[in-house]
Every structure is written in C-alpha cells, then in structure tokens.
Amino acid sequence: MAFCIKCGTQLVDGANFCAKCGTPSSEVLGYTDTPSKGKLKFKDGSYYEGEYINYKPNGIGKKTFANGDVQEGRFENGEFVG
C-alpha cells in the first residue's frame, strides 16, 4: 500500500498520481509497508537511500540534505542514530 508523500492520501494500486493533490506517485520509488530498500524523497528537498519502513528510514542507509549535508549509518524511525 502506498500513500501520497505530500498529503498522506492512500494511493490506488497502480495510480500514477495522488487523487487529492496530484503528486506523482513516482516520487516515491519502491514504497512498501514491509521493510524494504530503496529511495525516499522528502518535502524539504532531502532524500534517502537505503533500508526503510513506512516512509521512514529504518536500518542502514544514507540521507542527503538539500544543503549537501549527508548522514550515513543507522536510522531508527526516521532519526539518524549513527
């Protein structure tokens, strides 16, 4: 199941755009409810690549901020723990 990254509306399976706000579902690649690996893109312009659960970095990954800062290591519930 996928949810819109902007407004949180549940996306219809296979939908290319959020029915509510029109955000392309392709902004989130490989999203699943179960632990997975892939890329997440955040509203603040940062993005994350690695292990995640339910839109939040969970596990080993790398987050790159819009200003170029990088956090690389372990994340729990979206927070960098090192």
State yes or no: residue 6 binds Zn ion (CB under 5 A).
yes
Q: Is 10 or 81 the residue whose CB approaches Zn ion more closely?
A: 10
Kind of pairing between the strands at 2-3 and 10-11: antiparallel
Each as own residue / partner, the long-range contacts of residues 49-57 (CB below 8 Å, 24 or more positions apart, any chain) are: 50/75, 51/75, 55/3, 55/5, 55/28, 55/31
State yes or no: residue 19 binds Zn ion (CB under 5 A).
no
Q: Is 18 or 28 the residue whose CB approaches Zn ion more closely?
A: 18
Q: Is 4 or 28 the residue whose CB approaches Zn ion more closely?
A: 4
Select the residue interacting with Zn ion from 10, 12, 21, 60 (CB under 5 A).
21
